[in-house]
Chains A and B, each alone.
Chain A
Amino acid sequence: MINSTFSEDLNLRKSQETVLKAATGNFFWYPEFIMKVLKQSFLIIVAVFFSCAVLFSACGGESGGSKIEPTETQRATEGKGDLRGSSSSSAICKENRLLTYGGEPATVLDPILVSDIGTAEYIIEIFGGLVTLGLDLQIESDLAESWKMSADGLTYTFKLRKNVVFHNGRRVTAEDFKYSIERAADPLNASPTALLYLSEIVGVKDKFDGLTDTVRGVVVIDESTIQISLTEPITHFLQVLTYPVSFVVDKEQIMRDPTNWTRNPNGTGPFRLQTFNPLKEIVLARNERYHLGPPNLEAVVFNLSGGSLSTRYENDEIHIALVPTLELDSYRAGKSRYASEYRVAKEMSLSYIAFNVNKPPFDDPLVRQALALAVDRNAINEVLYYNRFRVADGILPPEMPGYSEDVSSYPYDPERAAELIANSKYFDNMPRITLNFPGSVASGGGFLEVFQQQWSDNLGLDIELEAVEWSTFLRELRRKTFQVASLGWIADYPDPENFLHKLFSSGSTQNKLGYANVNVDELLKKARVEQDMIRRNKLYWEAEQIILDDAAIIPIFWSVQHLLVKPCVQNWPDLSIGVPKYRYITIASQ
């Protein structure tokens, strides 16, 4: 008995020893260890490789256009530059199909529901309206062959082309347009954009509010003539009509299949929807019967998944990609192998700092102006963003019709800024200032921190940056509880009214600053209905300059998209907003 206990003990101790060895590893048993290391050194090399990889590799950076809405999380992440493949003779250039990237549609493909640029890109190719935009952002005729405006500017009469058909071959008539606008104004369809863009049409607001059943202002004169009456003689009405909400849809199709018609919509655009696989791609196929001439491309394939766009571009998988920010310099300097394929596409959008002019200390214009003078936007763009953007020297971006170079914003002048602050009534008792920005994934950006630093260095002001959850940010913005906020705005249609009136007119619902300047209001009211283009532009410039001098906002950047476009892709336009561009593009196969 004793013996077995003893041997059990021995075994126990031995197994304890083994466990101990196992737990602590063999490193204490030195000479064996060296031998084993030498024999198994390949494992060490593997470990070393990974540590080197961790130390020396650059992390994937975030690029992709500056997004203002957080609903887009498509990110292009960085690939490694300078690799194989000049690409014009590659397989993707042999077919007449353009392979590009696209965002997941944020709405079903229904023109009255779409409100974001990403989905609009598909909508404007599949559907059409009375007028459209050309590559130069001028109004061109689409389904309307011609139009007349009454002398008082309140009535537009459109004559429709006779040869326009939906994708299924059915002729488009004025009745279809009436139906489409009625549908947009119908509260049961809950269009997020109808009131915003169509409320100047007589009767739209009444129908949307449930007061009437029909839109009085849209009248079918005959099969190919439609008349639209406005509540005020706005001169940007045609521009507004290029926005999807007024596009024509097929009444018969919607009646037949109200819930699922958007999966295979019958439109009038240069392309029709061939495939819609939400997990993978959207394929638009050429509409042979397009009334303005069928597109050159057989199809456009939008790959929805995103992923590492520039890497896939280098791997010859797609024709178009976004350039990662960190590599912008090498592309511009011509150092990358793909430098010749680098293109710039301008986006009509503005990022800005908005002051709540009713909240101290921003009710004092001197304070606002001082803050505007104290930030060096050029340096930020150069150092922080590799010159990715254009510094906004005004509100309207240069590609906007009606832009003037003479309009200018406050330059960087810290001395003058300090002077102004010293003269301000808040100089001795500056209240606490908090700058709010939406703290979502695609928000803020380093420039806010630089602003904070510069305001502190140049003015001695300690401004706090506070991130706010997106929907809360929007709500508090509306309620005007912020002192100062970081915002952005993308043009909906190419007209100065879209920026100036919508954002700065005292009566506008989009005026989140509480800005109310009698002169500006006067100018905007006049410009809005001014039929002489030259006078109109002048009125808008004057208004813009007053707004800038008042420092209602600090304009920061106009956005730019940096693209890589394969050389075999021709006629790629240098703008990226709201223009149906794919019908102009061709692929030159080698």
Chain B
Amino acid sequence: MSQGIGAYLIRRTFSAVIVLFAISILVFLILRLTPTDPVEVLLGQKYDAATASVLREKYGYDESLPIQYVTYIRNLVQGDFGISTRRLDFTANEIVIPRLWVSARLGFFALVIAFGLGIPFGIYTALNRGKNRDPALIGGWLAVDAVPVFVSAPIVQWIFALQLGWVDLSFEGVFHKNIILPVLLIALPGVAGVARFMRAAIIQVMSEDYVRTARAKGLRNQTIVLQHITRNALLPVLTVIGLSLPGIFAGSLFVELFWGIPGIARESLDAILANDYDIILGLVLFGSFLFVMVNIFIDVAYGFIDPRVRIGASRSAV
């Protein structure tokens, strides 16, 4: 089996690299061929031809496209993501990486909370399906999801910061109590989705044969629930978690704006509006890289968790 996994990994990594190359070429071309122009944005209304040509030379925009691309890739593999034109002369690395890190950690906390609440609620409502608390709870979480964050943010700020004074509204670092509110505002809207998904998975599993077998064997309900039902229901949830992971790097725009969190969502927006090529390309490639890696990881993980799935096994295996 390990032979199978090794070959599988190699194949997947190889195709991942091809995918990333294709994405890089595609986004590169989109940025360069559309009428965007970071030098225009940089100079704004004070554009003059001589200054513009000097700037274009500095950033290499006067070279032909293939040369620009090769230069970019060559720098990329050395870890240099380029220079920002919007934030003149800050390197893309120093702009993007700290902000990605902030958004990622906040997103990760939010993910933990969303799943930490969603999974138990999903199990509970699944086991109590048909009773009123089932739709009431799901409905309650959906109500939380339905309130747009730019409505709930000022309310929440008013209640907890101004009235109760429990937290302040400045960003003091990722492990400071001030991030409780923004993280909750990212996490709580997601609970509904997780709970419903988990609920459906549990219901699905509950009708499986082995559950009936377990009940027939006379196992205690708790054992059945924990060992058999939940573990099996977690498999599709694992996929969902995995696919949500790259999303935490996207940041949450409104939360970042309301709390002044220096995250990646704001930065992406600004970069796009200012046609900041290196930042945009760096973000897209990073996101794609993450997505691809996570997918590979999930597929491999399945092979270990679910004995029905054999990674790299030949088709004739029984």
Contact = CB atoms under 8 A, between A and B. Distances in A.
Nearest to B170: A317
Given A196-B48, A307-B257, A187 B132 contact: no
Interface in B139-164: 139-140, 143-144, 146-147, 150-155, 157-158, 161-163
A469 B35 CA distance: 9
A190 interface: yes
Contacts of B134: 22, 25-26
Contacts of B41: 71, 470-471, 474
Contact of B158 (A80, A205, A208): A80
A516 to B, nearest CB: 18
A53 interface: yes
Contact of B170 (A70, A305, A475, A489): A305
Contacts of B154: 57-60, 77-80, 308, 311
A278 B258 contact: no
Contacts of A315: 161-162, 165, 168-169
B140 A106 contact: no
Given A107-B89, A190-B58, A474-B45, A306 B260 contact: yes
B262 to A, nearest CB: 4
A383 interface: no
Interface stretch (B63-71, B217-225, B239-247, B268-276): B268-276
A315 B153 CA distance: 16
Contacts of A108: 88-90
Interface stretch (A31-39, A137-145, A215-223): A31-39
Contacts of A279: 98-99, 102, 171, 262
A489 B50 contact: no
Interface string A172-198: 000000000000000100111111100
A225 interface: no
Contacts of A150: none
Interface in B60-96: 86-90, 94-95
A471 B40 contact: yes
A528 B217 CA distance: 99
A57 B151 contact: yes
A46 B143 contact: yes
A113 B48 CA distance: 15
Contacts of A255: none
Contacts of B257: 73, 75, 77, 306-307
Contacts of A489: 45
- Which residue, B38, B44, B99, has most C-beta atoms of chain A within 10 A? B44
Contact of B260 (A32, A57, A303, A474): A303
Contact of B261 (A47, A305, A509, A512): A305
Nearest to A40: B136
A312 B167 CA distance: 11
Given A307-B170, A471-B37, A487 B260 contact: no
Contacts of A512: 45
Nearest to B168: A317
A110 B89 contact: yes
Of listed A60, A194, A314, residue having the most chain B CB within 10 A: A60
Contacts of B4: none
A554 B87 CA distance: 33
B270 A71 contact: yes
Interface stretch (A13-21, A422-430, A452-460): A13-21
A262 B88 CA distance: 12
B150 to A, nearest CB: 5
Nearest to B126: A22
A54 interface: yes
A69 interface: yes
A107 B88 contact: yes
Most interface-central of B35, B99, B157, B169 (chain A CB within 10 A): B169
A264 interface: no
Contacts of A79: 154, 157-158, 162
B54 interface: yes
A197 B35 CA distance: 28
A311 B40 CA distance: 36
B231 interface: no
A44 B137 CA distance: 10
A18 B170 CA distance: 50
Interface in A273-313: 278-280, 303-308, 311-312
A50 B89 CA distance: 46
A83 B48 contact: no
Given A311-B162, A471-B275, A280 B171 contact: yes
Given A60-B154, A77-B154, A53 B147 contact: yes
Given A474-B43, A489-B45, 18 more contacts: A43-B139, A50-B144, A50-B146, A53-B155, A57-B154, A60-B151, A70-B273, A73-B266, A192-B55, A192-B88, A305-B261, A311-B169, A440-B273, A441-B273, A469-B35, A475-B40, A478-B47, A510-B46
Those 8 A-B pairs whose CB atoms lie nearest each other, nearest first: A307-B260, A305-B260, A36-B132, A107-B88, A22-B129, A279-B262, A21-B130, A25-B135
Interface of B: 35-38, 40-48, 50-51, 54-55, 57-58, 86-90, 94-95, 98-99, 102, 126, 129-137, 139-140, 143-144, 146-147, 150-155, 157-158, 161-163, 165, 168-171, 173, 203, 207, 257-262, 266, 269-270, 273-275
Interface of A: 15, 18-19, 21-22, 25-27, 32-33, 36-37, 40, 43-44, 46-47, 50-51, 53-54, 57-60, 69-71, 73, 75, 77-80, 83-84, 104-108, 110, 113, 115, 187, 190-196, 205, 208-209, 262, 278-280, 303-308, 311-312, 314-315, 317, 440-441, 469-472, 474-475, 477-478, 487, 489, 509-510, 512
19 contacts: A19-B203, A22-B134, A26-B130, A32-B132, A36-B133, A37-B132, A44-B136, A71-B41, A79-B158, A106-B86, A187-B54, A208-B54, A278-B90, A278-B98, A279-B98, A308-B258, A308-B259, A469-B35, A472-B36
